[in-house]
Amino acid sequence: MKKIALAGPGVGSFAGGIAEPITGKGKISAKKLHPFIAGIVVAIEAEEIHDTRIIRVDGSPHLPKNIRQWTGDSIGHWEGNTLIVDTTNFTDRTPFEGARNLHVTERFTRSAEDTIVYQFTVEDPGMWTKPWSGEVLVKKIPGPLWEYACHEANYGLENTLRGARVAEKEAAAKK
């Protein structure tokens, strides 16, 4: 297989079905994925909620077991053109109620100029009888990319639309 950079200048953004098993939001959701490589870390920015995961690739071990983090403690290494990420030390606020020793292994492989193969395995012997896995092909998308934004309680938008409908009715009544 031809080695293709996972990230770097001109790599672009990818979207569609990034199946992040650990999102902190209790769901598996589509993401826009922006991978950046900066020496001793890889940062993966997911557009939804603007989460950024920092993955140490400097060979350092996991944090001590008593240090728990919302998105866990991620360390990675490269095997050819695949980034392998091992994540442990999650808090008890994962989407998997009851999981106390969650362990996630992810593989990000740039298989073509426009595709990343994303694979993950989730395990917690106290929660499941065996590990479970998934795989998603993530395709590069053309720009521009629009911000993911919620519109709950966005009364400004509702009022703008209401005003436009009133203006349309007034214009129609003058004809």
User: Could you report the per-residue pLDDT of 79-123, keeping only the tens digit for each?
Assistant: 998 989 999 998 887 777 778 899 999 998 989 988 888 898 999
Q: Is 54 part of a structural domain of the chain?
A: yes
Residue-number span of the structural domain to which 63 is assigned: 14-143
DSSP E strands in 50-167: the ranges are: 51-56, 73-79, 82-88, 103-112, 115-123, 132-140
**pTM of model > 0.75:** no
Cα–Cα distance between 111 and 152 in angstroms, integer? 38
User: Could you report the per-residue pLDDT of 47-91, keeping only the tens digit for each?
Assistant: 666 667 788 999 999 999 999 988 789 999 999 989 899 999 988
Q: Is 149 part of a structural domain of the chain?
A: no
What CATH number has the domain bearing residue 63? Answer: 2.40.128
Question: What is the total count of domains within the chain?
Answer: 1
Tally of CA atoms within 13 A in the half-sphere of 61 that contains its CB: 4
User: Could you report the per-residue pLDDT of 125-152, keeping only the tens digit for each?
Assistant: 999 999 999 888 877 777 666 666 666 6
Q: Is 4 part of a structural domain of the chain?
A: no
